[in-house]
Amino acid sequence: MTTILDLGPSTIRMVLPGQVPSHWAQAYIDAFAAQGLTLVTGDEPAHAGARYALAFRPVPGVLGAMPHLRALFSFGAGVDAFFDDVDLPDVPLIKSVTPTHAMRMTEYITGYVLAHHREMARYAKAQSDHAWKPKQHAAAHRRTVGFLGFGRLGQHAGAVLKQVGFNVIGWRASNTPIEGYDIFSGQAGLPAFLGKCDFMVCLLPLTPETEGIMNSDLFAALPDHAVIIHAGRGPQLVEADLINALDDKQIAHAVIDVFAQEPLPEDNSLWARPDATITPHIASAPDGEEQAVQIAEAIRKIEAGEQPDHVVDRTRGY
């Protein structure tokens, strides 16, 4: 799906096909008007003349056919799908960074951490059995939540979990410290990080280095009571290795939001497992109204010769 923003000398043409909710169009009109830009919406993509394009999984070749592009905008925080296009134009690629995006991800992560920490499924089962079965649980400060990928989204969720009382640690590419957290980095730091995780949350971008990172070696290095929450990108998980790890009780439970094949096929064995929780890539979606404001501001900056925010580092791939 590709949305085209065609900025002419005095107007912006925006075409919103496919998955973009139509009510977002008004949000774009308002946000652009606030920047003194006139927006014209239409239903015919004006590819060749487009100066800005907004996409999530662009069809390879479509963006390369727009010689006047000045910037590309991603619908999501992840930009991996853009790099599948060998003809990706060499213009700034700007990722979506909106205030409620991080909050939504934090709701998802903290929700599942707390549900498992407080064994809510166990008490739901006890209720259905009319059974009064209290059980002691460890204090939050005795449990460690480790973020595999501790960037903007991870640190937002980590701060909330820390506030609740959990010990929070992070694994990242660079070894720059982050105040208040034990930070591990690189392949050398991975085993020590994994060994400490009662909960392991994947919030990595998909790059050649992170593809397949959740494999049998990683599961073997986790404690056998560990719960993993995967909200990064599907190809980071080797599904067959996860199924073996669950079968062999190397880990206790997997909450998975993203899959190599989406939608997850109906006959995938993960659907039926009591030790797996499946969600349909809903951990966090950007808010259209906030995104419209972000994009309008970025276009204003570019048109004024200023540097826009949140430009992807193409060497790192995120």
Ligand X SMILES: NC(=O)c1ccc[n+]([C@@H]2O[C@H](COP(=O)([O-])OP(=O)(O)OC[C@H]3O[C@@H](n4cnc5c(N)ncnc54)[C@H](OP(=O)(O)O)[C@@H]3O)[C@@H](O)[C@H]2O)c1
Write out the catalytic residue numbers: 233, 281
Decide: is 315 part of the binding site for ligand X (CB under 6 A): no
Q: Segment contacting ligand X (CB under 6 A): 2-10, 49-57, 158-166, 230-238?
A: 230-238
- Total binding residues toward ligand X, as defined by CB under 6 A: 30
Decide: is 218 part of the binding site for ligand X (CB under 6 A): no
Decide: is 56 part of the binding site for ligand X (CB under 6 A): no
Decide: is 152 part of the binding site for ligand X (CB under 6 A): yes
Name the residue whose CB lies closest to ligand X. Answer: 151
Structure tokens at 303: 């048109």
Q: Are 202 and 229 in contact (CB under 8 A)?
A: yes
State the nearest-atom distance from the C-beta of 127 to ligand X, in Å. 30
> First CA to last CA across the chain, in angstroms?
20
Quick one: which of 45, 158, 205, 308 contacts ligand X (CB under 6 A)? 205
Decide: is 318 part of the binding site for ligand X (CB under 6 A): yes
Cis peptide preceding 17, ω within 30 of 0: no
Q: Are 31 and 5 in contact (CB under 8 A)?
A: no
Note the maximum CA span of the chain.
71
Rounded to 5°, the CA angle 69-101-147 comes to 110
State the nearest-atom distance from the C-beta of 260 to ligand X, in Å. 13
Decide: is 126 part of the binding site for ligand X (CB under 6 A): no
Give the up-direction half-sphere exposure of residue 114: CA atoms within 13 A in the CB hemisphere.
14
Q: Which amino acid, one-letter code, is at 203?
A: L
C-alpha distances in Å from residue 69, one per residue of 164, 242, 297: 46, 42, 17
Decide: is 173 part of the binding site for ligand X (CB under 6 A): yes
Closest CA to 229 of 258, 264, 271: 258
Decide: is 254 part of the binding site for ligand X (CB under 6 A): no
The nearer residue to ligand X, 12 or 206, going by C-beta atoms, is 206
Q: Segment contacting ligand X (CB under 6 A): 21-29, 161-169, 265-273, 280-288?
A: 280-288
Structure tokens at 18: 């496919």
Instruction: Give contact residues for ligand X (rule: CB under 6 A).
Output: 76-78, 105, 149-154, 171-174, 203-207, 209-210, 231-233, 257-258, 281, 283-284, 318
